[in-house]
Structure 1
Amino acid sequence: MLKRWRKSGDEDYTNIPSIPVGENCLAIYPFKDNSTALYPYEAWAYSDIRVVDAWYIRCNSINLSYTFPEKMIRRFAQNVSFSMTLTNPFQIVSSDFDSRDPEVAKGSQPLTRNFSFSLNVSF
């Protein structure tokens, strides 16, 4: 909010409205028939200035598993395998999202990353 309008002429370098005080808090009537009243922040919220480029790519899961060949383990086991899973490892997001997660409400809480490892041995 540091770049908001503070005085006349600020509209040349910012698109963030001023903090409404006094007469700036009054409703405006943007349509010719004066039937619809909008308050300053309401008008700003409905404007196209808040529209962003919304593309993103998310990797939900990476799984890796391996089963050892029988000839490597026949002396001590019948079967040995391991697997690793990583959930929500990364996402690539449009710069308009400013490091927020597009799939989470208000983009402020990132989805958690989880890592799991398993080892299965059969004798």
Structure 2
Amino acid sequence: MDDKRVTRRDFLLRVGALGLAGLGASSLLSACGGGQQQQQTAPQPEAASVDTAAAASADFSCTDVSGLTAEEIQMRESLQYTDHSPYPDKTCSNCQLFIPAESPNQCGACQLIKGPIHPDGYCTSWVQKVS
């Protein structure tokens, strides 16, 4: 007859693994907006103003996803990544998750989304950069 008792060591290992899984899931949910559905209204176009830095950064594109897997492309699409933010105050360059490029007219990176990220871009996981 098999002994089905769980040792204290097995119990602690299982509880620890569950705790780590819960911590990972909560981190993922908080990065994705806490799992709450947010209704967004279409942004109202603002008066056109010419900003030389914005004009310079608009001269290049960060949409080449040829080196990404299907899952990574799906993640970009599910987070609605776009090269040019519809919100003037919410761009990748002022997002906590953005990793800037070494030079100004190059694509940066993101801690959440794989692939090239435009400094003027936006996704639904935008988080205000803490200064």
| TM-score with structure 1 setting the length | 0.21
Higher relative contact order, structure no. (Cα contacts within 8 Å, ≥ 6 residues apart): 2
Question: Which protein is bigger by CA-based radius of gyration?
Answer: 1
| TM-score with structure 2 setting the length | 0.20
Q: Relative to total residues, which structure has the larger strand share, 1 or 2?
A: 1
Q: Relative to total residues, which structure has the larger helix share, 1 or 2?
A: 2
